Amino acid sequence: MDWLYLYMPVAGVTIFWPGLVLIGFSVGVLGGFFGMGGAWMVTPGLNILGFPMAFAIGTDMAHIAGKSMISTMRHSKFGNVDYKLGLIMVLGTFIGIEVGAQLVMYLERLGKVESIVRWVYVGFLALIGWMIFYDYYKARTKKKMGLGEGEKGTEGITWYKTLHRIKIQPVVYFKTAGFSCSMWLPISVSFMTGLLAGFLGIGGGLFRMPALVYLIGCPTHIAVGTDLFEVMISGLYGAFTYSMKGRIELVGVFVMLTGAAIGAQIGTVATKYAKGYGIRLAFGTCVVACMVSIILKEFKFTAISAALILCTIGLMSAYITVVMLKGAAEELREKKARQRAAAQAA
């Protein structure tokens, strides 16, 4: 069974390569569906496979860049990527990340940075989790009462409407997302999410996707596509900077990317058959799982924390695959029925 193991020339370890493909595949499915990089899911998986931690983060970062590129290409064809919005947000993200990084360095000088960072992370994840489930509850209640059917259907949280009223020049129209707002709104929101990402040392997709929906007012599908575009840019940066520091294993990246290419197609195409609120709720579940895993890690239950993350990845990617397969089968059935009807009419 030697052929199942692959030698990683830089890290100097032999890895069970189907495990790498499987991790890539699962994170590809989740990333394509939710519009995030998913670094928090990959690192424990790589660690379990025996990947040295020193190489896990850089390898993960490069794989995320490639995977996001594949998902962005597919989302772009669906018309889910607002490039103008994405490029404007890149600016805020960069500045935010730098400020966040400086904040961490300041806290490092004071000591106890790790614990503070972890609890801030938990706090924000709890907030996002609450926001998503509260939004769903509010939208359902409104719908039952027959209130608030807007152009996007019944919505729960509509903070973006208030923010859109602030018309500080220049006001920009985002054609794909279908709204206009002050350019300063996406810049400041991305600055805040970038600041959090820099402070916490993560990619930021976990924060940016809900921020795009609730604060900027993107439809869920466009939030997913646009966020992936940003993850792609920051992932390529990450790949460069981690390579400069000697923390990347290119063979591992390519193997994971091969699995991710298939997973990304499934995740991305599944968004076509999922409703916006379905995506939001599944995303909220992942956020809660991530939060619980961090709390477990903080209390030194590292193995349970890793198991929770892996179970979440497994179950969620299975759910998304089912959504995609069911939707695709139905579409093909309808297409055949239409063709049959047309043939009969002719």
Pairing verdict, β 179-182 and 171-174: antiparallel
Chain position carrying tokens 């690192």: 43
Kindly state the smallest distance separating residue 146's Cβ from another protein, in Å.
13
- Give the nearer residue to another protein in terms of CB position, either 61 or 185: 61
d(CA 345, CA 342): 5
Kindly state the smallest distance separating residue 121's Cβ from another protein, in Å.
9
- For 22, the token pair is 């499987």
- Give the nearer residue to another protein in terms of CB position, either 139 or 323: 139
CA atoms within 13 Å, Cβ hemisphere of 251? 14
- Give the nearer residue to another protein in terms of CB position, either 138 or 311: 138
Kindly state the smallest distance separating residue 153's Cβ from another protein, in Å.
5
- Give the nearer residue to another protein in terms of CB position, either 140 or 315: 140
- Give the nearer residue to another protein in terms of CB position, either 48 or 172: 172
Kindly state the smallest distance separating residue 85's Cβ from another protein, in Å.
11
* 224: nearest Cα among 124, 89, 81, 86: 81
Q: Which amino acid is at 224?
A: V
Kindly state the smallest distance separating residue 140's Cβ from another protein, in Å.
9
**φ, ψ (nearest 5 deg) of residue 234:** -70, -30
- Give the nearer residue to another protein in terms of CB position, either 311 or 330: 330
| Contact (Cβ atoms closer than 8 angstroms) between residue 25 and residue 42 | no
Kindly state the smallest distance separating residue 162's Cβ from another protein, in Å.
19
